[in-house]
Chain A
Amino acid sequence: MRYLRLYGHFFTAQLKVMMEYRLDFLVGVFSVVLIQFTSVFFVKVVFDQIQSLNGWSFYEVLFIYGIASTGRSIHHIFFDNLWTIGWQYIRNGEFDRFLIRPVNPLFHVIANRVQQDGFGQLAIGLILLLTAISHLSIVWTVGKVLLLIVMILSSGAVFVAVNLFFATLSFWMVDSLPIVVGVFQVAEFARYPLTIFSKEIRGLLTWVIPYGFTAFYPASAFIEHSGYQSVALLTPVVAVVSCWIAYWFWGKGLRAYTSTGS
């Protein structure tokens, strides 16, 4: 509760800064729109040549995309600072200042930044979701709407957990950004029906880097012929477990940092 209030204070301070960089704000939002457009266009171009991808229609794939984008936007808006822990704080020793403050250092890192283009991402995610839903014949009940919200939150949580996990490597290797970026790129492709990949890759995206639970599995809960409706319901569990593992790992990283001092 205290942290929530504290986050509020951080947030307003950040907003004031943001207003000073309005141009960067606009460019940021615009590029996010463009990136999203690029990947949707990619799908469109491919679907111009085929009717379905392993049984998934264009709008069903778009639905997966929508969940991924919305979930990712949660991560993007609130947790974006995780990306750059290495070069922003650890490389130059700036991280020390979080250690002499009476708040959780992880909270401090996270609260230190609000990524404005995340809002653009959120908007696009919602647009994609609505477009897809209007072309799909899903019967919407209150329960399903709630389920969708839970799924999206879980998707965001999985993104956060994976990023936190790999960002934590910075404590040992100074800057893990290349790994974080590399892993994040894998998420792009977790937005397609997982069935197109080989067993090993499916396993990787399910058990090792659970990006499958950021888009494909949660979407499957709503698509009857997906064949993954029951696995889909595990999404919130996976989210909680992966957050727990990532936080545990973070704790280990922190201890390593305070004993090696760099």
Chain B
Amino acid sequence: MIDVQNLSKQYQIAKRDPGLAGAVKSLFSRKYETKQAVQDISFQIQKGEMVGYIGANGAGKSTTIKMLSGILTPSSGVVRVNGIVPYENRRRNASQIGAVFGQRTQLFWDIPIRESYHLLKHIYQVPETEFQQRLEMFTDVLDLGPLLGIPVRQMSLGQKMRAELAAAFLHNPAVVFLDEPTIGLDVAVKDRIRAFIREMNRQQETTVILTTHDMQDIEEICNRIIIIDGGKILYDGALQAIKERFGDKRTIHFDLEKNDGFTIPYALATRVEQVVSHREAAGKSNSISLSFNNAEITAAEVISEMMQAYTIRDLTIDEVHIEQIVKDIYERGL
């Protein structure tokens, strides 16, 4: 479905000296600096895959997506989406892709979204019956009913994003690019959006490429992740595999009845390590955080040992967050 080979993109950035003098000087001559945003990346994505494309700020995610959707021409390398080279055959590519770009709206600003959808129907030449069917289903799943008569201008972020998502799927695209579709949304809206994406993928086998900083998105939607850093691919593979490899580190936070001279129980001493978490940092002196390797000892064991040694008021177990994993990879490499 998507075939990316040795893709690179450099940006030219005009450099300017600081201050007014620099500004004046820049009128007459400018120095350019080359910024390598994406560097020689390759990957294939099959039909129906849902891929999380993740990386730190400025890693090159949006740049890649822009090249895949035909907005940017690569400096070198080749992209094929369904056999079409997006930046050469932009219009043909456009009818088979859908996109949501962060907080930027694709809908018509002043026009009620019902009208917007209507226009989009004509732009993408969607047959009327299909359009009606789809709109009905979207209205249902995304709860758009009360919004149809309102222009985007007057919508809240969450409402806008739902409307936006429906617009991206209206012409039943083979591939959908979602560049931070859940940014700034509350949990309920996020859930709805994730459910919608999964549902579309199940029904239509839509290929989804998702960039996000919300790891929950990835865990709930994607079965594969590509991690990019400094324009290069760090990891490309199953989400499960990387979780197994890195996701064995866990932390349990205990709230003790009293805390006078805490020591790790003898039975745990070699396999558990005390860490300083934000709770202690926040001055909750009765809190203790223990970190351990899931392969060496289970959470149940740690808890039962602790309960024998101390009176425990409360405890929480940190979920294995891919965020942590990604951070580890950033910091330590694979």
| Best-buried of B70, B71, B118 by chain A (most CB within 10 Å) | B71
Chain A neighbourhood of B94, CB < 8 A: 99-102
In the assembly, what is the distance between CA of A258 and CA of B75, in Å?
Answer: 11
Binds B, one of A10-18, A53-61, A211-219: A10-18
A13-B111, A100-B70 known; A260 and B119 CB under 8 Å? no
- Judged by a CB distance under 8 angstroms, whether B95 is at the interface is yes
Report the bound CA distance from A104 to B9 in whole Å. 25
Does A127 sit within 8 A of B, measured CB to CB? no
* Contacting pair A9 B104 (CB below 8 A): no
For the complex formed, measure the closest distance between the CB of A20 and the CB atoms of chain B, giving whole angstroms.
Answer: 8
B91 contacts A104, C-beta separation under 8 Å: yes
| B73 surroundings in chain A (CB, below 8 A) | 255, 258-259
Residues 75-100 of A at the B interface (beta carbon under 8 Å): 92-94, 96-97, 99-100
* B122:A6 contact, CB within 8 angstroms: yes
- With A and B bound together, what is the CA distance between A104 and B123 in angstroms? 10
- Please name all residues of chain A whose beta carbon is closer than 8 Å to the beta carbon of B119 when the two chains form the complex: 9-10, 13
B71, A96: Cβ atoms under 8 Å?
Answer: yes
Main SS class of interface, B: mixed
Of listed B72, B92, B95, B105, residue having the most chain A CB within 10 A: B72
With A10-B119, A13-B111 known to touch, is A261 a contact of B124 (CB < 8 Å)? no
Given A102-B91, A259-B72, A261-B66, A96 and B104 contact (CB-CB distance below 8 Å) = yes
Does any Cβ of A come within 8 Å of B313's Cβ?
Answer: no
Q: Are B124 and A17 in contact (CB under 8 A)?
A: no
Hey, what's the 0/1 contact readout for B15-39 against A, CB within 8 Å counting as 1? Answer: 0000000000000000000000000
Residues of chain B lying within 8 A (CB to CB) of residue A260: 11-12
Residues from chain A with Cβ under 8 Å of B95 in the complex: 102
Work out how many contacts link A and B, with CB atoms closer than 8 A. 73
Give, as a whole number of angstroms, the nearest-CB distance from A102 to chain B: 4
Judge if B196 is at the interface, Cβ distance under 8 Å: no
Nearest CB in chain B: distance from A169 CB, A: 16
* Beta-carbon contact of B110 and A99 below 8 Å: no
**Is A225 part of the binding interface, using a Cβ–Cβ cutoff of 8 Å?**
no
Chain B neighbourhood of A16, CB < 8 A: 111, 115
Residue B97 interfacial (CB < 8 Å): yes
B279 within 8 A of A: no
Interface residues of A in 1-47 (CB under 8 A from B): 5-6, 9-10, 13-14, 16-17, 20
Closest residue of B by beta carbon distance from A258: B73
Are B11 and A93 in contact (CB-based, < 8 A)? Answer: no
22 pairs, A vs B, C-beta closer than 8 Å: A6-B122, A9-B118, A9-B122, A10-B119, A13-B115, A16-B111, A92-B104, A96-B101, A97-B104, A97-B106, A99-B69, A99-B94, A100-B69, A100-B94, A100-B99, A101-B94, A101-B123, A102-B91, A258-B70, A261-B9, A261-B11, A262-B11
CB-based closest 6 A-B pairs: A102-B95, A102-B94, A259-B73, A17-B110, A258-B73, A99-B71
Known: A99-B71, A103-B123. 17 other contacts (CB 8 A): A5-B122, A9-B118, A9-B119, A13-B108, A14-B111, A17-B110, A17-B111, A92-B104, A99-B70, A100-B71, A101-B94, A102-B92, A255-B73, A259-B72, A259-B75, A260-B12, A261-B63
